[in-house]
Structure 1
Amino acid sequence: MSLLRYLDESPRWLLVRGHTDRAKKVLQKAAHYNGVSFSSDQHLDCMLADIQNETINEKKAPVGSNENISYTKRFQRCISGILVLFRTPRLRQIVLLIYIDFFVVSMVYYGISLNGVNYGVNPFLYMVISGVSEIPAYTLSAPLIAKFGRRLPITWCFLICGGAIVSLAFVPNNDSTWGLTIFLVTVGKMFISVVYQVLYLYTMELLPTEVRLTGLGTTGCVSRIGSIFCPYVTELLGVSYPWLPSLLFGGFSIVAGLTNLGLHDTLGAPMPDTVEDVENYRKTRTPNEDDKTSELQKIKI
């Protein structure tokens, strides 16, 4: 709560409330923070006018009332909203590949934690080291994706995690190999944690604005389905075949890493606003376009 005084209000909200001067100061502060300068005050005024016009148009857009709509109609609206994700080929491909990533990352992330009983190591030490391994993962993921983009780090982290977890299937469960087991678990948990963190950012940058929330909601559902499978794999299969959960989790991770190559990188690219932007991405993008962003796109509001 003590930090709230240092947070700026949204320029859009300030404009709606009539605080134009405060909105200008917030935009100027954002521009200064990002090393961008406005060519003139008129440029800033035009920018504020655009934001204000967008807000007015959104208010004028007709919105159906839900008060007198039956549950059947609401359900149909919900389904039709989800089906938008699959109506065009490129968006459909992106969504399906994202679903694979979320299903696998959730299953492997929680599967590593639950599968400790099948490795023959101290469960308390196992959980402590498994948790500590996430600290470097969350610390290094930001500079990693800032330098190498999103697609390749996710792919390599999936592959490295998969290789480490598959290796556990061939490590015998005895006291002489507990160090190797802990090392492989630490590697697997660290790299799958990087994927878990970066994947949400990557998904928001891949999906267009008009279906972004719907896409994020459905990916969350797919992710939960992946985590539901974990206990069945570790408890049912792991009891009879202790090596099988590691083989499954590692194999799925490798498959997800390879399928992730079907997505494009979003580093330095403007976020798509419409489904049409996604479909035209390959057609309109030039090799040097990553380096060409306008002053407005450089400003992080």
Structure 2
Amino acid sequence: MIGAGVFGHLSDSFLGRKGSLQVVCFLNAVFGLLTALSPNYWVYASFRLLTGFSAGSVCLCSFVLATEPIGPSYRGAAGMSTCYFFSSGIAALSGIAALCQSSWRLLYVVTSLPSVAFMFFILPFISESPRWYLTHRRTDDAMRVLRDIASSNRRSFPDNITLKLDDEDDINKKVEQASSSILDVLQSRTTRVRLVLSMSISFLCSVVYYGLSLNVVNIKINMYIGVVVNSLAEMPAYLLTTMLLPHFGRKPLGIGTMLLSGIFCTIASLIADVNSMRVVRMACGVVGIFGMSGTYNLLLVYTSELFPTVVRTVAMGCTSQASQMGAILAPMVVLFGDRVPFAVFGMFGIIGGLLMFCLPETMDKPLYDTMFGLEKGEKASRSEEEVS
């Protein structure tokens, strides 16, 4: 939770998307390996805290870096496709944990190696986000990255093409290069309302998402099988959401997936805990995590489109912090036993779906680079709606 806020700010400021990702991968690998050497509980707990500080930002920084260069037609599909790797990792983790039951130290060594591999064999070949370059007035670097992308796609830019920020037409507007803190988000009414709604929805979604994964202990089935089934249930959700995203948009699809999860969790809370009905309860839970996993990852795409480039990662860092608060609460809800957790998850899913009605649609809308550009675009959209 702390790391998401810190590296969300650093990613928007001097470190950039790629620089922040390099740092968090390095720290994640080091702290994970040191955890395996812990001589006592307090050293172990300290290293787990430090690992969480770095690991909490890996998804955030990598998602923004992967999706910012993508145009509006494919942004949703590209964003959702990153989620397959997350679920694949959870499914693989279940198998790795089953094989490492004899040594928890070995488990931490094995699960730290992917960060090392990513840092040395993948990150060197990834470019910094051209949008980050542009907001920091490094137009030549942004054009270089775009020309490299065009070259890899066997295309080219005309020589007279250049880039400019969406606030450069206003001669009275001050340069916004340093405008990248949470205070900038809170000062604007548009982004302030969006931030509060995004954080609230992320918190509710996270409680349900992590809670359903942990709730396998209350269904009284094999824990490893339960985790695999839940993680595999997420993949069709990503595929279906990706296919429906260009047709229905972010807002209707987010509302539908949250309400689907909430309704089936509510149904599961009404089913008695007897042997003959455990499969039915698990099926309702699978549908619940199917819907909520679609929402959970759709929110990444949705949130990234709600905020301009200069504050995109810091705003997403705040929503990630709200999500981590939900993850902290989730195991406490699970402790209530058989029916109560499903009832809470159902209520949270329905409330989250209703809150999403208050957010604007972002499908096929441009990604704004500055706060001024966002406000100008919103005024233009409202004017068009009034005319129509």
TM-score (normalised: structure 1): 0.71
Deviation at 1:126? 2.7
- Which amino acid counterpart does residue 255 of structure 1 have in structure 2? I
| Structure 1 residues 261 and 278: alpha-carbon distance in aligned structure 2, compared to 1, 3 A threshold | farther
Q: Does residue 1:179 correspond to 2:302, yes or no?
A: no
| Structure 1 residues 10 and 234: alpha-carbon distance in aligned structure 2, compared to 1, 3 A threshold | closer
Structure 1 match to 2:334: 234
- Structure 2 CA distance, aligned partners of 1:112 and 1:9? 36
Q: What SS is found at the alignment partner of 2:161?
A: helix
Say which of 346, 352, 356 aligns to 1:256. Answer: 352
Structure 1 match to 2:70: none
- Structure 2 CA distance, aligned partners of 1:203 and 1:62? 21
Residue range with higher mean Cα deviation, 176-185 or 245-254: 176-185
- Structure 1 CA distance, aligned partners of 2:123 and 2:309? 27
Structure 1 match to 2:380: 284
- Structure 2 CA distance, aligned partners of 1:274 and 1:7? 24
- Structure 2 CA distance, aligned partners of 1:217 and 1:24? 30
Equivalent pair of 1:15/1:23 in contact (CA under 8 Å): no
Q: Does residue 1:107 correspond to 2:230, yes or no?
A: no
Deviations along 1:128-159, one digit per CA (max 9) or x if unpaired, are: 32122012122232222122111111111000
Deviations along 1:46-73, one digit per CA (max 9) or x if unpaired, are: 326x59xx9xxxxxx8999xxxxxxxxx
Q: Does residue 1:27 correspond to 2:129, yes or no?
A: no
Equivalent pair of 1:111/1:230 in contact (CA under 8 Å): yes
Q: Does residue 1:141 correspond to 2:237, yes or no?
A: no
- Structure 1 CA distance, aligned partners of 2:383 and 2:248? 17
Deviation at 1:25? 6.3
Where do 5+ consecutive residues of structure 1 fail to align? Answer: 55-60, 65-76, 290-301
Equivalent pair of 1:8/1:26 in contact (CA under 8 Å): no
Q: What SS is found at the alignment partner of 2:194?
A: helix
Equivalent pair of 1:161/1:187 in contact (CA under 8 Å): yes
| Structure 1 residues 9 and 215: alpha-carbon distance in aligned structure 2, compared to 1, 3 A threshold | closer
Q: What SS is found at the alignment partner of 1:95?
A: helix
- Which amino acid counterpart does residue 105 of structure 1 have in structure 2? C
Q: Does residue 1:246 correspond to 2:337, yes or no?
A: no
Deviations along 1:170-209, one digit per CA (max 9) or x if unpaired, are: 0011111122112111111111111111111111100112
Structure 2 match to 1:58: none
- Which amino acid counterpart does residue 268 of structure 1 have in structure 2? D
Deviations along 1:60-100, one digit per CA (max 9) or x if unpaired, are: x8999xxxxxxxxxxxx99xx32322222221110011001
- Structure 2 CA distance, aligned partners of 1:113 and 1:24? 43
Counterpart mapping for 1:69-218 below 5 A: 81-218=181-318
| Structure 1 residues 172 and 16: alpha-carbon distance in aligned structure 2, compared to 1, 3 A threshold | closer
| Structure 1 residues 177 and 122: alpha-carbon distance in aligned structure 2, compared to 1, 3 A threshold | farther
Q: What SS is found at the alignment partner of 2:365?
A: coil
- Which amino acid counterpart does residue 284 of structure 1 have in structure 2? A
Where do 5+ consecutive residues of structure 2 fail to align? Answer: 1-119, 169-174
Q: CA RMSD in A?
A: 3.6
Say which of 46, 57, 62 aligns to 2:161. Answer: 46
| Structure 1 residues 140 and 95: alpha-carbon distance in aligned structure 2, compared to 1, 3 A threshold | same
- Structure 1 CA distance, aligned partners of 2:177 and 2:128? 26
Structure 2 match to 1:275: 371
| Structure 1 residues 200 and 83: alpha-carbon distance in aligned structure 2, compared to 1, 3 A threshold | same
- Which amino acid counterpart does residue 178 of structure 1 have in structure 2? R
- Structure 1 CA distance, aligned partners of 2:293 and 2:350? 15
